[in-house]
Amino acid sequence: GLLNEAHIAWRTALADAAGTTPERVAVQCVHQHNAPFACLDSETRVAKQADLPHVIELDFFRTCLDRGRKAVAEGFTKSRQITHVARGQAKVDRVAGNRRVQRDARQNVLAMRGSSCKNAELQALPEGLIDPWLKTVTFFHRETPIAACHYYATHPMSYYGDGRISSDFVGLARKQRQKETPDCHRLYFTGCAGNVAAGKYNDGSKPMRAVLAKRIHTAMVESEKAMKPETLGEVAWSHEAVRLPSLKSPTPQEMLARIANPNGKVADRIIAAYRLAMHERSTPIVVSALAINDIAMLHLPAECFVEYQLAAQKLAPKTFVATAAYGDGGPWYIPTAEEYPHGGYEVGVAFCAPETENLLTKATTALLGKK
């Protein structure tokens, strides 16, 4: 993840290299968990505690920014004219399931069905609310496909926590599709998957990674079969700046105490640093959309619940809306306002207040309205 000033640093670096402004750059994370959550503000806090590990290695972070600038600059020397665009979608078979399906009579969440699950009772529960469609937007130079963007809403992990960086099953699917079409660059975006993961169909065993990858790959291929390239007509980039309100509890003093508590769990102390960084943030979060013909490529922050993605599609029913979440990760999880009273893990690590839904919905409406 890229949080707060770390996310802004990436957009600024790429914008400088491209000769544009940061508001016209979207940086979305895929969110596989065997990788860091980069937050410069949190690193400053954590570094003051001698017994805590670093949140991010600053030298490595700066090196990555330099590589990003260089890649953009070199890209301009190999640019291709885009003349056509096409879109398609296909249902994904047995990958995503809602994480918050086990509830009591008052709809309070009892247990989470995560990215992997060995609990037969939880696996037997229905899929719950998901977006079953994998969407693809492909750019062409005349008849030649140049780049394809794939979108699907699920946490993209089969197993993790072993210390190795991995692109996991969505990365395997993308790489296979890239191998099949070497001249068409493939990008994968994770949609609004804050409450969606593969646990209904994934027991966390290593063989399941390849199985899930094949299911994603199949949907990628199917989504492109009926594509009909259309000449580029209207092309527009729009953005909205949103200030998201923090929760009133815990207070900044309580968060500082948690960070400094040598007897606290390391994860809890570092999460407090992430939470405090969002609480003290002064710059707004930028959401954006690229509109091309009847297509809108929407860029949202953090771990939005899938409801945000489905709502965006309803806001523009005549538009092919492809949503990428996991942009600026400062807010961590972004539940809907309705879900806050029902608890569960995701609500417990939401850094912003329930009013966030209304603010994000207004911004999304403005972006899709400009379409």
Contact 223, 90 (CB under 8 A): yes
Check if the beta carbon of residue 112 is closer than 8 Å to that of residue 98. no
CA 79 to chain centre: 27
CA 318 – CA 115 distance, rounded (Å): 33
User: Residue 34: pLDDT band by 50, 70, 90 thresholds?
Assistant: confident
| 146 phi and psi angles, rounded to 5 deg | -105, -45
Taking CA 118 as the corner, what is the angle to CA 161 and CA 190, rounded to the nearest 5 degrees?
55
Q: How far apart, in whole angstroms, are the C-alpha atoms of residue 144 and residue 34?
A: 35
Rounded CA gap, 127 and 141, in Å?
40
Per-residue pLDDT at 370: 61
* Mean pLDDT along residues 1-5: 97
Over residues 37-64, the mean pLDDT reads: 96
pLDDT in tens, 112-158: 999 999 999 999 999 999 999 999 999 999 999 999 999 999 999 99
Beta strands in the chain (DSSP E): 2-3, 38-39, 84-91, 97-98, 102-103, 109-111, 133-141, 144-152, 185-190, 196-197, 230-231, 235-242, 285-292, 295-299, 303-304, 320-324, 333-334
Q: Which two tokens stand for residue 62?
A: 């700066």
Please give the share of the chain, as a percent, with pLDDT higher than 70.
99
Dump pLDDT digits (tens) for 147-202. 999 999 999 999 998 888 899 999 999 999 999 999 999 999 999 999 999 999 99
Taking only the tens place, the pLDDT of each residue in 314-329 is 999 999 999 999 999 9
Distance CA 166, CA 332 (A): 21
| 3-state SS class at 131 | coil
pLDDT tens-digit readout, 251-307: 999 999 999 999 999 999 999 999 999 999 999 999 999 999 999 999 999 999 999
Residue 371 has pLDDT above 60, yes or no: no
